[in-house]
A = this chain, B = another copy of it.
Amino acid sequence: MALKVALLGCGVVGSQVIRLMHEQADDLAARVGAPLELAGVAVRRLGRKRDADVDPALLTTDAEALVTRDDVDIVVEVIGGIEPARTLILAAMNSGKSVVTANKALLAEDGATIHAAARANGADLYFEAAVAGAIPLIRPLRESLAGDHVHRVLGIVNGTTNYILDKMDSSGASFSDALEEAQTLGYAEADPTADVEGFDAAAKAAILAGIAFHSRVTAADVHREGITEITATDVASAKAMGYVIKLLAICARSDDGRSFGVRVHPAMIPRTHPLAGVREAYNAVFVEARSAGQLMFYGAGAGGAPTASAVLGDIVAVARNLLAGTRGPEESTYAELAVHPMGETVTRYHVSLDVADKPGVLARVADMFAKQDVSIQTVRQEGHGDDAQLVLVTHRASDAALSATIDGLREMDIVRDVVSVMRVEGEDAP
């Protein structure tokens, strides 16, 4: 007997899911142990021209009726956004359907409600496609590493911003020129806010942190900074020092392991770091675990077909579970670790200052760092006269101490401008 799949959304991802379910029908049936059949596709408007070669009789605008239909076994949600996705997923679960979703925003905003509904109804909830597209990451983290202790997850999880930063690095382009190119090529949306301001990466970081640390994390727990203020000068000066600027999502335990931080911000990483070689719109995620050591996962983080690949893998898993009368792993939040405030995050910093060219300037600047217990690793003076610049790289210090230092520097008469402050990551990686 066929298992019936209801699809919510028929856009870039949904149309690929339909195509692959059709083209790979025989393989999917063999792998599941039963054929998969498309029961219906919920869309906003019926008339629209679509990429997908879908029987018009399957289309419906009544998503709520579709997800509660008696003959539907699995609901696949690829609409995105909070509503109506949440209402539809909850309705599906309350009708006993298992759910596959690619919805990072919803899981990061209100995962607790969705997971609770899955548990209450004995329904499966799979969401591999929500983070880093085709790259298997959720399953390795919550299953392969279930016997390990994850210290840190550090990755490039947004293809749009990686494309922009990569272009700025390779061509010297400004942020706005690189963004325009990304938009022309379809890597960035007309309104790029969700990507360039880090919202998309923050949602993924929240999901990854929750799984890695067996705790509940929401998007609101994530410290978030975007890349709109990165200048061509920042990129060039990083390059000159052997670094590249990437937008990183970092989930890291505190040194005592009893809390963790989750943050998304641009950071300088050494060009020798494996993440530095991640070009264009690719994604890559480093995972550091106590026994496994350092692992890296690399691949296409977005796009219709790659995301559909992850969705289909989840559909197969859910379908196998249904046939076996079982469920996949539930949400695991038993550790209930606290998310520490950004001020407690410890990392290194690259600080660039416009300073007056007077004797004793360096000593006074160094003194301001020392006052906050921020130790300086290297300092370089560039130019002179009105163009004098100090470039400092610190040892590890807390974000709070660094912020206090910067506040202090801004008030010094000899400091004309704090030109840039950027975190430095990945120096202890291979």
Contact = CB atoms under 8 A, between A and B. Distances in A.
Interface string A60-104: 000000000000000000000000000000000000000000000
B332 A292 contact: no
Contacts of A310: 144, 292
The CB with the most chain B CB atoms within 10 A, among A140, A147, A320, A329, is that of A147
A143 B146 CA distance: 16
A293 B298 contact: no
A147 B297 contact: no
A291 B317 contact: no
B291 A144 contact: no
Contacts of A303: 293
Contact of A293 (B149, B299, B430): B299
Contacts of A128: 144
Given A136-B140, A147-B313, A317-B146, A308 B291 contact: yes
Question: Interface size bucket, A side?
Answer: 35 or more
Interface string A225-257: 000000000000000000000000000000000
A309 B289 contact: yes
Given A147-B28, A309-B147, A311-B147, A298 B298 contact: yes
Contacts of A315: 147
A297 B297 contact: yes
A414 interface: no
Nearest to A305: B291
Count this chain's copies in the assembly.
2
Contact of A291 (B20, B139, B321): B20
The CB with the most chain B CB atoms within 10 A, among A296, A297, A309, A430, is that of A309
B299 A299 contact: no
A312 interface: yes
A360 interface: no
Contact of A139 (B16, B139, B308): B139
A312 B149 CA distance: 11
A378 interface: no
B294 A335 contact: no
A407 interface: no
Contact of A300 (B27, B145, B292, B332): B292
A122 to B, nearest CB: 11
A403 interface: no
A210 to B, nearest CB: 14
A329 B316 CA distance: 11
Contacts of A16: 291
20 contacts: A20-B291, A24-B149, A27-B149, A30-B332, A31-B332, A134-B293, A136-B144, A146-B312, A146-B317, A148-B309, A148-B312, A274-B298, A277-B277, A292-B309, A293-B299, A295-B300, A296-B298, A296-B299, A298-B298, A320-B329
Interface of A: 16, 20, 24, 27-28, 30-31, 128, 134-136, 139-140, 143-149, 214, 274, 277, 279, 282, 289-300, 303, 305-306, 308-317, 320-321, 324-327, 329, 332, 334-335, 430
Given A30-B214, A136-B145, A324-B327, 6 more contacts: A136-B140, A143-B317, A146-B317, A147-B312, A289-B309, A291-B309
